[in-house]
Amino acid sequence: MSTEITAEPVAEPSTGRRMLVVAAGAVASIAVWVPTGIIGGILPTVLLNGNEQVVRLYAIVVSSLVAGLAAWALLALLERKAKRPRRTWLLIATATLAVSLVSPLASAIDTETRVVLCAMHLIVGAVLIFGLGRSARRSGVAES
C-alpha cells in the first residue's frame, strides 16, 4: 500500500493587484510632491556631477515605477527560490529601503530637499513593501 502525499496547489498571486501596488507607489510619490512642491514651493534640488539639478515630477514618477517593477521582479524570484518568500521579501525590501535613504541624505543641497526626498522614499517604500508583501506566498520551494 503506497500513500502519495500531494501538496495543495498554491494560488498564483494576482498580477492585477501587483500592478495596482506599483502604480500606487508612483501615486504616493506624487502625493508627497504636490503639497511640498506645488503648494509649499519646495522643489527638491540635488547635487549631480557637481551641478545643482531640480528633481522634476516625471523623474520622481519614473523612479517610483522602476523601483516598483524591480521590487515585483525580486518578489517573483523569491517566490520561486526561497523557502519563506514573504519573510525573505520583507527583510530584503526593508534593508533596501534603508540603503536607499543614503542617496537623498548625501546628494540633497538643503534640509528641505532631504526631508522631501526621504519622505518620498519612505512612502513609496512603505506602499511597495506592504502592498507587494501582502500578495506574497508564505512558503515557496519545498525542502529537498
pLDDT in tens, 50-94: 899 999 999 999 999 999 999 999 999 999 999 999 999 999 999
Which pairs with CB-CB distance under 8 Å and at least 24 residues apart come from 96-100? 96/125, 97/121, 97/122, 97/125, 97/129, 100/125
pLDDT in tens, 91-104: 999 999 999 999 99
- Evaluate whether 125 touches 93 at the Cβ level (below 8 Å): yes
